Amino acid sequence: MYSTAVLTALPKTDLHCHLDGSLRLETLIELSRDRGLPLPSDTPDGLRALVFKDSYRDLADYLHGFSFTSRVLDDAESLERVAYELGQDGLAENVCYLEVRLAPQLHIRADLDVADVLCAVDRGLARAQREDEASAEVQAGLRPPFRYGLIACAMRMFTAGFSPYYKRLMDVLPGWPAKEVYSIASQSLARAVVDARDRLGLPVVGFDLTGHEAGHPAAHHVEAYSYAHQHFLKKAVNAGEAYGPQSIFQAITLLKADRIGHGTRLFAADQVQSPKAELYVDQLTEYIADRRITIEACVTSNMQTIPTIRRVEDHPVGEMIRRRLSVSLCTDNRLLSHTSATQELDKTCRAFDLEVDDLRNIVLHGFKRSFFPGTYRAKRAYVRQAIDCFDRVCAAHGLQRTRRTPST
């Protein structure tokens, strides 16, 4: 199987990486101390034992960590710092292209609006990009330079305790049906991020929907996604993580998703409400494959939150690859899942004994199906750099393709 050195050297993407789930532990401790916010432990080892664990009881246990990370991202300086460090951490393992997800409305304060939040994160990542462009490797053309995009996440559901913004919204709309409140919040976000992109020139490349699926359907957010679609903002939807194939279908048809986050229950025919469940799953899978709707697979994260997936071999990503779906491996939350882009590749290659062709396709899907913040011609040139870099690394380590089929 492929060595860690090889997988680290390969150019990589991370298309599904949440900012507030990917802090450095040392940074979390420092920011919490500066704000007088108590933590269960004031050491990295203590926090790993108590909060950011190797395994979790359930999704609620996993999400508990966000209650500590989100609260320190309450000003522009902390957002910029964490974004910069995330860019550095990616570059340390040759993540050349990174799409950072954040829910700006979680970080809004009296002196910090959606645009301010996005600007702060952009400054941090831009700093990492400038430093990388000056590196010897990039100057010599040995790998693609670091590039990034921002994806703004709307929430399927929330409570007033999520953030000051959501509390104000609940106060303004007392007694309103929850689904209408959620819809208003997502529409407000869509308008704000489009404005920030167009007015400030920020690399806001996508709109996402995250949060609990069960009981909180994508249908509540059609208006927000319609606005994003009309303003040429690309669309991702977290679907099929905690609910079945019909949630994925709804994301594709109602929200016009270009990519699906997780998609873990794509093959779960037992969750389809139809007498022809197996046929439904096959037809949906073929539709996704034909339309090249990319699945952002987060293997480690799913193993920690889905009870039926306790080994990599149990994860449906192997079947996705076998069926030639467009799959990109992602970290989801580097801190909460103790993972990296290299580790995600390593686990998947080992579990499913992937050939070089499969590895090449997975890596290149990330570049080709990215929401690249530039022109189509610039993206094609960037993808060409990634292809050439991948092939150089393989040649340097004696790895040869076997099928010689075109990349998909």
Task: Classify domain 4-396 at the CATH superfamily level.
Answer: Metal-dependent hydrolases (3.20.20.140)
What pLDDT digit, counting tens, does each position of 75-92 carry? Answer: 999 999 999 999 999 999
Helix 25-35 × helix 76-91 angle, to 10°: 170
pLDDT, tens digit, for every residue of 32-42? 999 999 999 99
- Averaged over 358-365, what is the pLDDT? 98
Instruction: Report the alpha-carbon distance of residue 70 to residue 109 in Å, rounded.
Output: 13
Instruction: Provide the 8-state DSSP code for 353.
Output: T
Amino acid at 287: Y
Q: Which residues pair with 239 in a beta bridge?
A: 262
C-alpha span between 187 and 181 (Å, rounded)? 10
Mean local confidence (pLDDT), 132-157: 96
Mean pLDDT of the chain: 95
How far is 173 from 190, CA to CA, in rounded Å? Answer: 19
> How confident is the model at residue 217, as a pLDDT?
87
351 closest CA partner among 302, 402, 390: 302
Cα gap 259→207, rounded to integer Å: 11
Q: Extract the tokens encoding 61.
A: 């246990």
Task: Output phi, psi for 18, to 5 deg.
Answer: -85, 130
Query: Helices marked H in 255-326 — which ranges?
Result: 277-291, 299-305, 317-322
Instruction: Provide DSSP, 64-123.
Output: TTHHHHGGG--SHHHHHHHHHHHHHHHHTTTEEEEEEEE-GGGT-BTTB-HHHHHHHHHH
| pLDDT computed for residue 406 by the predictor | 54
The pairs formed by 281-288 with CB atoms below 8 angstroms and a separation of 24 or more are 281/245, 284/245, 284/248, 284/249, 285/323, 285/325, 287/252, 288/248, 288/252, 288/260, 288/325
- Rounded distance between C-alpha atoms, residue 163 and residue 174, angstroms: 17
Q: What is the pLDDT of residue 404?
A: 54
With beta carbons less than 8 A apart as the criterion, state whether 79 and 121 touch.
Answer: yes
Confidence of residue 408 (pLDDT cuts 50, 70, 90): low
Name the residue ranges covered by the structural domains of the chain. Answer: 4-396
pLDDT at 239: 92
- Cα within 13 Å of Cα(201), Cβ side: 2
Pairing of strands 12-18, 259-262: unpaired
User: pLDDT tens-digit profile of 31-73?
Assistant: 999 999 999 999 999 999 999 998 898 878 898 999 999 999 9
Helix or strand holding residue 236 (H, E): strand 234-239
pTM, to two decimals:
0.96
pLDDT tens for 261-314 read 999 999 999 999 889 999 999 999 999 999 999 999 999 999 999 988 989 999
User: What is the widest separation between alpha-carbon atoms in the chain?
Assistant: 65
Dihedral over alpha carbons 268, 271, 276, 281 (to 10 degrees):
-30
Q: Write the single-letter amino acid at 78.
A: S
pLDDT digits (tens, 9 = 90+) for 304-316: 999 889 899 999 9
How far is it, in rounded angstroms, from Cα 237 to Cα 225?
10
pLDDT at 403: 65
CA–CA gap between residue 401 and residue 407 (Å, rounded): 11
pLDDT score for 405: 54
Q: Average pLDDT of 307-328?
A: 96
Direct distance between the N- and C-terminal alpha carbons of the chain, in angstroms, rounded to an integer: 23
